[in-house]
Amino acid sequence: MPAGELRHPSPLNSSATETPPDEEEVWAKIKTEAHRDAESEPALASYLYSTILSHSSLERSLAFHLGNKLCSSTLLSTLLYDLFLNTISSDSALLAATVADLRAARARDPACVSFSHCLLNYKGFLACQAHRVSHKLWSQSRRPLALALHSRISDVFAVDIHPAAKIGKGILFDHATGVVIGETAVIGNNVSILHHVTLGGTGKACGDRHPKIGDGVLIGAGATILGNVKIGEGAKIGAGSVVLIDVPPRTTAVGNPARLVGGKEKPARHEECPGESMDHTSFITDWSDYII
């Protein structure tokens, strides 16, 4: 692949019906964790039974949980349960992405104590799974329902992802509060995004106007990326940075406006995948004489 070229995320609207090879393994771990937690904390036993232990599969548990989280007085939980279950069950790629996201949270976030903890309590994870369904509806031209679901996701989880935005798998929205992702944004695989990140337009353009994020990218808290710009594979965007132009692969952009660590002509390059390593600060000695 030529330098700077972005891979689009693996399509999540595949009609394939094969079961993800590790879905059963992850689901078995989730049930084991739920049994353990129910025994150690009886106050949660009923909740854990209704959300996890009473269900025969991960997709049924997730559909039930999302339906209860996102329902309202006029958007009933039973309707949402059927919508989520039918959509996820009809597309094995959606379930594979769910499993990849669970593994991403467990591997990258030291605060994630178990798969069941992520499934039940991580609003970034839940918002991402609900978005996948809204995106599927959007691609099927069921846009009023996709937009209604998008609105509920934003209201409940404080995560605003347009239904048309394309998101890969192995995604971690860490904390997730205040994440905004625009209509024509594309996010690759194995990307980690912290809270209060904006992937927005410039306010003056129509059409394809939002960022394209390559595989393995790490975007720090409060970063803002505006316009139809490309963040190269394995790049790192520092917390609080404002990015308005392309960032080359395997480089680090920091500041407002963002600049490349090492300079534009010979930027410092790293070999690790920051979206997986979650290394936010190793560049600081090359960037600043910051001393306390």
Residues 236 and 280 in one domain: yes
pLDDT of residue 21: 52
Domain boundary among 132, 159, 186: 159
Region at 242 (left for phi over 0; alpha for psi -120 to 50; beta for the rest): beta
Instruction: Give the containing element (helix H, strand E) for 259.
Output: strand 259-260
Q: So what's the pLDDT on residue 204?
A: 77
Find the helix or strand (DSSP H, E) in which 45 lies: helix 45-48
In degrees rounded to 5, what are phi and psi of residue 94? Answer: -65, -45
Has residue 1 been placed in a domain? no
Is there a single domain that holds both residue 44 and residue 152? Answer: yes
Residues 198 and 139 both lie in one domain: no
Cα(87)–Cα(42) distance, integer angstroms = 33
Please report how many Cα atoms fall inside a 13 Å half-sphere around the Cα of residue 262, on the Cβ side. Answer: 12
Cα–Cα distance for residue pair 129/70, rounded to 1 Å: 12
Residue 254: inside a domain, yes or no? Answer: yes
In a domain, 2, yes or no: no
Element (H, E) at 27: helix 23-40
d(CA 215, CA 151): 27
In a domain, 89, yes or no: yes
Task: State the pLDDT at residue 14.
Answer: 38
What range defines the domain where residue 103 resides? 24-159
Q: Give the Cα separation of 41 and 43 in Å (integer).
A: 5
Residues 91 and 140 grouped into a single domain: yes
Residue 128 parent element (H or E): helix 123-139
Residue 230 shares a structural domain with residue 106 = no
pLDDT of res. 205:
76
pTM equals: 0.89
Which residues, in sequence order, are bridge partners of residue 180? 160, 198
Question: 52 with 130: CB under 8 angstroms?
Answer: no
3-state secondary structure of 119: helix
Greatest Cα pair distance in the chain: 61
Residue 12 lies in a domain: no
* Same structural domain, 37 and 120: yes
Q: Is residue 169 part of a domain?
A: yes
Q: Are residues 39 and 67 in the same domain?
A: yes
Outline where 10-91 has alpha helix (H): 23-40, 45-48, 58-70, 77-89
Angle, to 10 degrees, between the axis of helix 92-108 and the axis of helix 77-89? 100
The pLDDT of residue 145 is 97
Look at the chain and report how many structural domains it folds into. Answer: 2
Per-residue pLDDT of the chain (292 residues; tens, 9 = 90+): 443 444 445 444 433 334 445 899 999 999 999 999 999 999 999 999 999 999 999 999 999 999 999 999 999 999 999 999 999 999 999 999 999 999 999 999 999 999 999 999 999 999 999 999 999 999 999 999 999 999 999 999 999 999 999 999 999 999 999 999 999 999 999 999 999 999 999 987 789 999 999 999 999 999 999 999 999 999 999 999 999 999 999 999 999 999 999 888 889 898 889 999 998 877 666 666 666 6
CATH of the domain at 212: 2.160.10.10
- For residue 132, the domain's CATH number is 1.10.3130.10
pLDDT of residue 196: 98
At which of 107, 137, 159 does a domain end? 159
Q: Are both 58 and 151 inside the same structural domain?
A: yes
The answer to whether residue 53 sits within a structural domain is yes
**194 located within any domain:** yes
Q: Which residues pair with 243 in a beta bridge?
A: 225
Single out the residue in 159, 179, 208 at which a domain terminates: 159
